[in-house]
């Protein structure tokens, strides 16, 4: 939290590495709980409609899901590399690896887009006539699928915006070897996005 010229005048901004990390961890905790609510809904309906969930999951495209998992895992790796590079003072390589992270995030979304459109083409979307004709549990499964992967995808987009902003700050030198906590926090956020997906994959794709 810096450059608050308006109220604090010439006063030196307060910098606190530990504080910034503490705040970020608590925020990540709230994110987990946000998804936690959905996982709760999932577990309730999975218990109620085990058989329907089983059938519905069979229609998901496992190879695409697994590919996406690798894409995200690799992006987490490039994220870590970026943070380490900046800590070592190697700005160029930090930027390069950050670029890779952004690219992989984009790739993830593209694959997700094709998956979603295929489902929608087959009439499998919330409230669709096809789903209404199927047993209730399958409808709920697809409801959950779209809501949870949708919320996750939204987090990917937010993560991409965040990482781009920080890439610019690395480039301009506002985030640098001596003050890299923003990049590190963005990295933490990115790992969370990755982590959530690691749970989504088995819950949706691998239950058939």
Partner 1 sequence: MTDKASGATPPRGFYGPEGGGGGLLSWVFSTDHKRVGLLYLYSLLSFFAIGAILGLTMRAELLMPGQQLVSPRVYNSLFTLHGVIMIFLFIVPGIPAIMGNFMLPLQIGAEDVAFPRLNLASWWVYMVGAFLAVTSLFSGGGAPDTGWTFYAPYSIRTNSNVSLAVLAAFILGFSSVLTGINFITTIHRMRAKGMGFFRMPLFVWSLYATSWIQVIATPVVGITLVLVVLERLLGIGFFDPAAGGDPILYQHLFWIYSHPAVYIMILPAMGVISEILPTFSRRTIFGYKAIAMSSMAIAGVGYLVWGHHMFTTGMSDTSRVVFSLMTFLVAIPTGIKIFNWVATLYRGSISLESPMLYAMAFIFLFSIGGLTGLVNGALSTDIHVHDTYFVVGHFHYVMFGGTGIALFAALHYWLPKISGRMVNEKKAKRAFWLVVIGFNLLYFPMLVLGIMGMPRRYHDYLPIFQTPHVISTIGSWVIATGLVLMFWNLWSSARRGALAGNNPWGGTTLEWQTTSPPPTLNFDAPVTVTAGPYERGEGRTA
Binding site for partner 1 (CB under 8 A): 1, 4, 6-9, 11, 14, 16, 18-19, 22-23, 26-27, 29-31, 33-38, 40-41, 44-45, 48-49, 125-127, 132, 135-137, 139-140, 143-144, 146-147, 151
Shortest distance (Å) from residue 24 CB to partner 1: 9
Least separation, in Å, of the C-beta of 92 and partner 1? 30
The residue among 36 and 89 lying less far from partner 1, judged by its C-beta, is 36
Question: Which tokens in the block code for residue 45?
Answer: 């309906």
> Closest separation between CB of residue 132 and partner 1, Å?
8
Q: What are 14-18's contacts with CB under 8 Å, separation 24+?
A: 15/179, 17/181
CB 7 within 8 A of CB 20: no
In whole angstroms, the minimum distance from the beta carbon of 1 to partner 1 comes to: 5
CB of 21 closer than 8 Å to CB of 175: no
CB of 107 to partner 1, least distance (A): 27
CB of 52 to partner 1, least distance (A): 9
Q: Are 44 and 131 in contact (CB under 8 A)?
A: no
The residue among 34 and 66 lying less far from partner 1, judged by its C-beta, is 34
**Closer of 23 and 123 to partner 1 (Cβ):** 23
Q: Which residue has the tokens 């989504």?
A: 200
Closer residue to partner 1 (CB): 138 or 194: 138
147 close to 35: Cβ distance less than 8 angstroms: no
Q: Is the dihedral of CA 200, 120, 125, 140 positive or negative?
A: negative
Q: Is 21 exposed, middle or buried (0-12, 13-18, 19+ CB in 10 A)?
A: middle
- What three-state secondary structure class fits 167? helix
Contact 148, 38 (CB under 8 A): yes
Q: Which is nearer to partner 1, 14 or 88 (CB)?
A: 14
Is 16 or 58 the residue whose CB approaches partner 1 more closely? 16
CA distance 51 to 177: 54
């Amino acid at each position: 939290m810096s450059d608050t010229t308006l109220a604090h005048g010439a006063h030196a901004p307060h910098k606190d590495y530990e504080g910034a990390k503490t705040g970020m961890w608590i925020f990540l905790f709230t994110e987990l709980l946000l998804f936690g609510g959905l996982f709760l809904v999932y577990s309730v309906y999975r218990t109620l409609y085990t058989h329907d969930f089983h059938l519905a999951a069979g229609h998901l495209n496992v190879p695409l899901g697994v590919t996406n998992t690798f894409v995200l895992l690799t992006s987490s790796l490039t994220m870590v590399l970026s943070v380490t590079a900046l800590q070592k003072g190697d700005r160029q390589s930090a930027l390069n690896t950050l670029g890779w992270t952004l690219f992989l995030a984009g790739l993830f979304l593209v694959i997700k887009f094709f998956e979603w459109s295929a489902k929608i083409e087959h009439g499998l979307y919330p409230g669709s006539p096809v789903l209404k004709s199927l047993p209730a549990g399958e409808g709920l499964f697809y409801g959950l699928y779209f809501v949870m992967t949708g919320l996750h995808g939204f987090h990917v987009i937010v993560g991409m915006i965040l990482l781009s902003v920080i890439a610019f700050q690395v480039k301009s030198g506002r985030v640098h070897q001596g003050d890299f906590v923003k990049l590190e926090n963005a990295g933490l956020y990115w790992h969370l996005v990755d982590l959530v997906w690691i749970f989504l994959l088995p819950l949706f794709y691998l239950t058939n």
